């Protein structure tokens, strides 16, 4: 019975000791240091090694195809290994996420542990300190002024004045022989690192939840004059009223491109706007960013098979240009035996592809490939097919990135808090000064000063400035 109880107590002890140890580990700066270095090292791999686009990474099949085609071309045979090690998607890999989660836990526990010491800092230490406190510490953190030709209260008052001039908060306590002074400044800025560390957690939460709750369409295309549905969880649709692209004198570098749009919610017009790069349109948390643009050429075409004289296709063929100088499109024929690429020029003066003509490139099922120029109104046979080009029309289209990121604002708030917190902490370091003015006979006293500066900050300049200030108002001898 007794031993049973003993065992229980023992195991409970062991358990609480293990918890204590774990808590200590998870709150330690050393762990933070190691985790930060691990995350840095893993990120570095992500900077050097080709990374899969995030959209592709979400779709296992697309990802596999990407590894096959894109990654293998870059890194060769090791692609498969690197894929299994998750190194093509470092930011989503366990190498990154595990230390990341641990670091957040680390910050949380560390902040909790530090709360007491911060509260103590806010209160300030005891005013009365032992004599030994004033003679301890490093030499640059203390000062002794003997034989001040003033009473101990007057000497203390001088020190108080000097401290107040330097914006210290001063507390005084006295007995018949001694006057004690405790002063500090910037104590609230001690909260700076606290705020910064917690804002990192806020940042990471906003980052994660923004990704989970939001959505993004990187390729929302609208033709000029047309209206397209935004989809996702919205009833929004966007009409592209007009589109303009301007170029610099070199004719290649875009100078400006802008879309005049109208936004509809449930079919009701809610907004008209000019969307340009750097000037997105936002409506109820959904934002439209100008991303790219292009032109469309629609060719009315008839294609028939020569040997059977059957019509394989009749109608519009859509060719697109995205700034390369050429319209490109392909023609899906019901007969799987043919693949037809159609190429037109955006430049009416093009020597290769004159106006009102396109190239058709016909790849037959047997692998034969023949191409030729198809001119408007002149039927031509290419690789067993006959092409008739009857009419054409051109239009512009604009591509938007559309996204909803409900935590976007939080990201900026957290970032701002982080910078504010460390700036206050670093640029306005908390300083503490203690003074002890001791009576040494009639009208004479001894003054002891001791300062404490934060880690790695120097005491020297502060204590020098203080004693200089002190001397300003009194004829004191210094030793």
Partner 1 sequence: MAGLENLFLWLSLAGIVVTIILAIMEFLARRKAMLALAKKEPASPPQTAAAGRNSLGIAGDALTILTILFISLTLVFRGILAGHGPFSDMYEFALAFAWGIVVMGAIFQWRYKTAAVKNAGFIIALLLLIFAIVEHTSPPPLVPALQQSTLLSVHVASGVVAYGTLTIGFGAAILFLIQNRRNSLWLPDKEVLDKISYQAVVIGFPFLTLLIVLGALWADIAWGKYWSWDPKETASLVTWLLYAAYLHARVMRGWRGRRAAILLIVSFAAILLTFFGNYIFTGLHTYNG
Binding site for partner 1 (CB under 8 A): 29-30, 32-33, 36-37, 39-40, 43-44, 46-51, 54, 74, 90-91, 207, 216, 248, 250, 253-257, 276-278, 280, 287, 289-291, 401-403, 408, 411-412, 415-416, 418-419, 422-423, 426-427, 455-456, 458
Burial string for 275-306 (b: 16+ CB within 10 Å, else e) reads beeeebbebeebbbbbbbbbbbbbbebebbbe
Residue whose beta carbon is closest to ligand HEM:
110
Q: Which is nearer to ligand HEM, 290 or 459 (CB)?
A: 459
The sheet carrying 236-247 orders its strands as: 227-229, 236-247, 254-265, 268-276
Per the CB < 8 A criterion, the answer to whether 370 and 382 are in contact is yes
For residue 422, the minimal CB distance to ligand HEM (Å) is 5
Residue 197 binding result from partner 1, ligand HEM, none, given CB thresholds of 5 to 8 Å by partner type: ligand HEM
Kindly list the residues in this chain that would bind ligand HEM in the complex (CB under 6 A): 27-29, 32, 36, 103, 106-107, 110, 193, 196-197, 200, 422, 455
SS3 186: coil
CA distances from 28 to 130, 181, 248, 454 (A): 32, 34, 57, 19
The residue (of 49 and 105) whose beta carbon lies closer to partner 1 is: 49
Residue 106: contacted member of partner 1, ligand HEM, none (CB under 5 to 8 Å, by partner type): ligand HEM
Whether 402 and 220 have beta carbons less than 8 Å apart is answered as yes
What's the min distance (Å) between Cβ of 239 and partner 1?
Answer: 20
Q: Which is nearer to partner 1, 73 or 270 (CB)?
A: 73
Number of neighbours of residue 59 by Cβ within 10 angstroms? 11
Q: Is 450 exposed, middle or buried (0-12, 13-18, 19+ CB in 10 A)?
A: buried
CA distance 146 to 140: 17
Q: Rank residues 39 and 448 by Cβ distance to ligand HEM and give the closer one.
A: 39
- What's the gap between Cα 34 and its chain centre? 22
| Closer CB to ligand HEM, 100 or 210, in the complex | 100
Question: Alpha-carbon distance 412 to 145, whole Å?
Answer: 51
Q: Which is nearer to ligand HEM, 51 or 193 (CB)?
A: 193
Beta carbon of residue 111, minimum distance to partner 1 (angstroms, whole number): 14
Nearer to ligand HEM, 28 or 72 (CB): 28
Q: How far is the CB of 438 from partner 1 (least distance, A)?
A: 33
The least distance separating partner 1 from the CB of residue 318, rounded to whole angstroms, comes to 26
Quote the least distance from Cβ 179 to partner 1, whole Å. Answer: 34
148: number of Cβ within 10 Å: 26
């Amino acid at each position: 019975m007794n031993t049973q109880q003993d065992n229980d107590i023992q195991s409970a002890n062991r358990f609480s000791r293990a918890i204590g140890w774990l808590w200590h580990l998870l709150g330690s700066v050393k762990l933070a240091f190691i985790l930060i270095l691990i995350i840095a090292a893993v990120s570095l791999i992500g900077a050097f090694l080709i990374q899969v686009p995030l959209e592709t990474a979400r779709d296992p099949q697309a990802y596999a195809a990407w590894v096959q085609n894109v990654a293998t071309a870059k890194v060769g045979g090791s692609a498969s290994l690197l894929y299994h090690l998750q190194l093509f998607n470092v930011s989503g890999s366990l190498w990154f996420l595990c230390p990341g989660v641990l670091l957040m836990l680390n910050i949380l526990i560390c902040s909790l542990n530090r709360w007491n010491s911060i509260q103590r800092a806010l209160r300030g230490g005891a005013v009365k300190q032992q004599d030994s406190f004033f003679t301890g510490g490093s030499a640059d953190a203390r000062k002794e002024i003997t034989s001040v030709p003033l009473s101990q209260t007057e000497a203390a008052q001088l020190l108080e004045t000097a401290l107040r001039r330097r914006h210290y908060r001063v507390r005084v306590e006295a007995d018949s022989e001694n006057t004690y002074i405790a002063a500090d400044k910037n104590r609230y800025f001690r909260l700076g690192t606290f705020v910064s560390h917690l804002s990192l957690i806020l940042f990471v939460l906003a980052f994660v939840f923004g990704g989970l709750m939001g959505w993004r369409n990187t390729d929302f295309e609208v033709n000029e004059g047309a209206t397209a549905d935004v989809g996702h969880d919205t009833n929004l649709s966007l009409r592209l009223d007009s589109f303009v692209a301007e170029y610099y004198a070199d004719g290649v570098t875009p100078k400006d491109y802008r879309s005049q749009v109208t936004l509809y919610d449930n079919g009701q017009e809610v907004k008209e706007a000019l969307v340009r790069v750097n000037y997105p349109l936002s409506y109820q948390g959904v934002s439209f960013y100008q991303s790219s643009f292009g032109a469309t050429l629609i060719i009315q075409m008839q294609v028939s098979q020569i040997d059977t004289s059957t019509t394989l296709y009749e109608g519009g063929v859509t060719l697109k240009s995205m700034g390369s100088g050429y319209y490109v499109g392909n023609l899906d024929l019901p007969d799987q035996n043919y693949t037809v690429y159609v190429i037109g020029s955006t430049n009416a003066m093009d020597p290769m592809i004159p106006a009102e003509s396109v190239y058709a490139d016909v790849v037959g099922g047997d692998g034969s490939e023949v191409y030729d120029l198809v001119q408007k109104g002149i039927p031509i046979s290419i690789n067993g097919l006959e092409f008739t080009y009857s009419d054409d029309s051109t239009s512009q289209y604009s591509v938007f990135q559309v996204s909803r990121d409900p935590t976007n604002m939080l990201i900026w708030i957290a970032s701002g808090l982080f910078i504010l917190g460390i700036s206050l902490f670093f640029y306005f370091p908390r300083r503490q000064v203690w003074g002890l003015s001791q009576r040494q006979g009639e009208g004479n006293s001894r003054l002891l000063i001791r300062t404490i500066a934060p880690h790695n900050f120097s005491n020297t300049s502060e204590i020098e400035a203080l004693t200089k200030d002190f001397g300003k108002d009194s004829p004191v001898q210094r030793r």
